[in-house]
Amino acid sequence: MALPTKNRLKNKKDFDAVFKKGKALNGSFLFIKSLPSSLGYPRFGFIVSAKFAAKAVLRNKVRRLLAEVILSERLLNMPSCDTVVVVMKKIPAETEVIRDDFIAVLRQARFI
């Protein structure tokens, strides 16, 4: 299931602001950058590069998986911030590995 529209980062200027001023946390395969905002609700953006997977189908599958983790962990109720999730390295195609790493990084950031 996809994130609600209001909870998505869409504009390049929003992504750039998070990258410029946000704080980063690293995981094994991904990292997140987060920047507090005054909107009253959190927004998330995902970057999965072609270096990770050449096929768009797999990149979109990873994006859907990350959105599913956000919804299942009820992160849409957390304090207002803009968060960008970047998948950095080529990893096994097992979605459980990605999910576990993402949850570990979210716990490290104290979102969970």
pLDDT at 92: 63
The pTM is what?
A: 0.86
pLDDT at 93: 61
pLDDT at 19: 94
Structural contact between residues 29 and 87, judged by C-beta atoms closer than 8 angstroms = yes
Cα dist from 83 to 56, 57, 67, 79, 107, whole Å: 22, 23, 12, 11, 14
Place of tokens 């990292």: 31
pLDDT at 91: 64
Running along the chain, 112 residues long, what does each successive block of 10 average in pLDDT? 88 94 88 90 90 85 88 82 85 72 84 70
pLDDT at 24: 92
